[in-house]
Amino acid sequence: MAGYNLAELHEALITPTNPITKRMRAVFYLRTIATPEVVPILVEGFSTDSQLLQHEICYVLGQIHLPESEAFLISALQNETLEVISRHEAAEALGAIGNLRFLPILQAYSASPIRELAETCQLAIDRINWLQNPEEIPPSPIILSIDPAPKFAAQLTIPQLKEIYHDTTQSLFNRYRALFSLRDIGTDEAVLAICEGFGNQNFSALFQHEIAFVLGQMQEKAAAGIPYLIQALEDTSNHYITRHEAAEAIGSITDSPEALGILEKYKNDPAEPVRSSCFIALDISEYWFKNE
């Protein structure tokens, strides 16, 4: 895929017999191009039987935040035949784009009986409202993604952030802000503070999925979180939205034989997002650690 040939990336993405790893790489190569020409390719790729691939396509469309993708993302959010993993990511993408005109559609689903969808819409609403009078936020030393919530502008201590992180009387938006602030501190103490959310009834499936995503963003800095991620993946009572993200995070952080063995074990999981994520995680681990 070197050279970013759009025709080759298009073929790689839409060919259903291609391995999920090849199709996913095409999605993220298209993200690096980030021109209007990639939007119809990604939208065509959404017509797939992989919920994970649908989810990642919506994520990428939010990250490249082109107006050409807005109508598609709204339609994906409204499409009740789709799984929640795809619809939630469409809502998060709208929040990443951040246009005020998205507020009515997001408000319509912010009271959805599907908790993961409702919470995503609430976060997207709060982010769009925050953008109307944003604080000056220092850039992340770890990642350049558009996050569902900004970290705090003030330099809070880990105990102060933990207090907000665990406080269920706070908005989910503020608790996410604490999460991203802990991410950017990046110490083992911060990682272990983040991991306190796993298996905690005060942290929803959506929140725990974001915790796993953040640890994956931190890569090797999050090594202290590997036992928690493995436990989150292996606990089949967890929502697949959490388990799939835990799998991908493991692959981003380590190539230890124990961790890779766990990923191999769940390549046949009943939940497609989980098993596909294990294939992706093994591919990610090889990319980062075998080809350094």
**Which domains can be identified in the chain, with CATH numbers?**
1-134 (1.25.10.10), 138-292 (1.25.10.10)
Q: How far is residue 82's CA from residue 77's CA, in Å, rounded to a whole number?
A: 8
Task: Summarize the chain as % helix, strand, coil (round to 5).
Answer: 70, 0, 30
Average pLDDT over residues 9-15: 96
pLDDT band at 290 (very low <50, low <70, confident <90, very high): confident
Residue showing tokens 């797939």 = 48
Please list, in sequence order, all residues whose beta carbon lies within 8 angstroms of the beta carbon of residue 120, skipping any fewer than 6 positions away: 88, 89, 91, 92, 95, 148, 206
User: Which three-class secondary structure state does DSSP give residue 47?
Assistant: coil
Q: What is the dihedral of CA 130, 136, 141, 144, to 10 degrees?
A: 50
- Closest among 32, 34, 35, 43 to 10, alpha carbons compared: 43
Q: How many Cα atoms are found within 13 Å in the side-chain-facing hemisphere of 128?
A: 22
Q: List C-alpha distances in Å: 54 to 19, 44, 206, 241, 275.
A: 15, 10, 17, 13, 15
- Closest among 35, 87, 55 to 276, alpha carbons compared: 55
- Which residue type is seen at 186? G
pLDDT band at 138 (very low <50, low <70, confident <90, very high): confident
210 annotated to a ligand binding site: yes
234 annotated to a ligand binding site: no
Within 10 angstroms of residue 236's Cβ, the number of other Cβ atoms is 12
What pLDDT does 291 receive? Answer: 63
Question: pLDDT exceeding 90 applies to what percent of the chain?
Answer: 92
209 annotated to a ligand binding site: yes
Average pLDDT over residues 218-240: 97
Average pLDDT over residues 69-94: 98
- The pTM for the full model equals 0.95
What pLDDT does 95 receive? Answer: 98
User: Which three-class secondary structure state does DSSP give residue 143?
Assistant: coil
89 annotated to a ligand binding site: yes
88 annotated to a ligand binding site: yes
Q: How far is residue 84's CA from residue 58's CA, in Å, rounded to a whole number?
A: 12
- Closest among 169, 151, 171 to 161, alpha carbons compared: 151
Please list, in sequence order, all residues whose beta carbon lies within 8 angstroms of the beta carbon of residue 59, skipping any fewer than 6 positions away: 89, 92, 93
- Closest among 140, 215, 201, 203 to 175, alpha carbons compared: 203
pLDDT band at 141 (very low <50, low <70, confident <90, very high): confident
65 annotated to a ligand binding site: no
